[in-house]
Amino acid sequence: MNDAFMAMRISSSGLTAERLRMDTIASNVANATTTRGANGQPYIRKIAVFQENLQQELDKTTGTYKTSFKGVKAVGIVNDDSPLRRVYDPTHPDADKDGYVTMPNVNIMNEMADMIASTRAYEANVSAMTAEKSMFSKALEIGK
Amino acid sequence: MVVNNVGNTSVSSVAIPNEVKTNDAGGTSFLDTLKEKLDEVNNKQIDADNLTQKFVSGEETDVQKVMLSTSEAKLSLDLAVQIRNKLVDAYDAFNRMQI
């Protein structure tokens, strides 16, 4: 019975993953000009990393391993290593002696593009889930 | 909303002739299997209900998990209803049989 809904659960894992990606994007946008992040350094852009979630199980009848799909899982949120922006603003409290402020390596345009991608990916997962639901309901009509 | 246990209620007694219960082979009877599956369907309803409660009380934050479990519960119930319809059809067919 549980395998019947596996496709829906895979889609659900995709939805959860996109929610996490959206969280990191929201964090990046919110901290786009944060000059005092963790340990006093400017905020570093965060990227969510995902991994395919497979399950290997031993088939009791044949003795062979079979791989089943479990969707996607988040393996972590990593920092973006690209260089930080330096902006000339001598009046800023965090400006160095030359008048430059080190700003986070967040580009709002990139974040907006990522947000669109994330929203569309979420929609795609919802569509897959709806399709699976209607396939199941359609299969029930065979008995009518 | 409280979902009551439907495992032993009238569905099984209406749908199944008494003869099915006598199973000499010692394996699990059709009735037991049906009851087990109905319990599973009921458990799905209870799970969905619990998750909805958790979501509205703020414990659970993933709305897609709530929708997934309610969808699973609904589809399971639809399947159970279809099987019930088939059983009633079979019972009616036996009832109409000329002796």
For residue A72, pLDDT beyond 60: yes
Cβ(A7)–Cβ(A15) under 8 Å? no
Paired sense of beta strands A85-88 and A65-79, if any = unpaired
Q: Best mutation site among A2, A3, A5, A73 for testing chain B: the one with the most B CBs within 10 Å? A: A5
Contact A16 B86 (CB under 8 A): no
Higher pLDDT, A18 or B21: A18
Write down the pLDDT at residue A88: 93
pLDDT digits (tens, 9 = 90+) for A44-66: 999 999 998 888 878 778 888 87
Beta-carbon separation of A144 and B68 below 8 A: no
A143: nearest Cα among B93, B72, B83:
B83
Backbone phi and psi for residue A80, each to the nearest 5 degrees, phi listed first: -80, 125
- Phi, psi angle pair for A46, to nearest 5°: -105, 140
Please give the average pLDDT of every successive group of 10 residues along chain B, which has 99 residues. 52 47 65 89 93 92 90 92 91 89
Statement: residue A9 has pLDDT above 80:
yes
Q: Are A44 and A80 in contact (CB under 8 A)?
A: yes
Q: Which of B40, B71, B86 sits opposite A1 (nearest CB)?
A: B40
DSSP chain A: -TGGGHHHHHHHHHHHHHHHHHHHHHHHHHTTT-S--GGGSPP--EEEEEEEEEEEEE-TTT--EEEEEEEEEEEEEEE--SPPEEEE-TTSTT--TTSEEEEPS--HHHHHHHHHHHHHHHHHHHHHHHHHHHHHHHHHGGG-
Check CB contact under 8 Å for A143 and B71.
no
pTM score, whole prediction: 0.76
- Whether A67 shows a pLDDT value over 50: the answer reads yes
Shortest CA distance from A5: residue in chain B: B72
What is the ipTM score, two decimals? 0.74
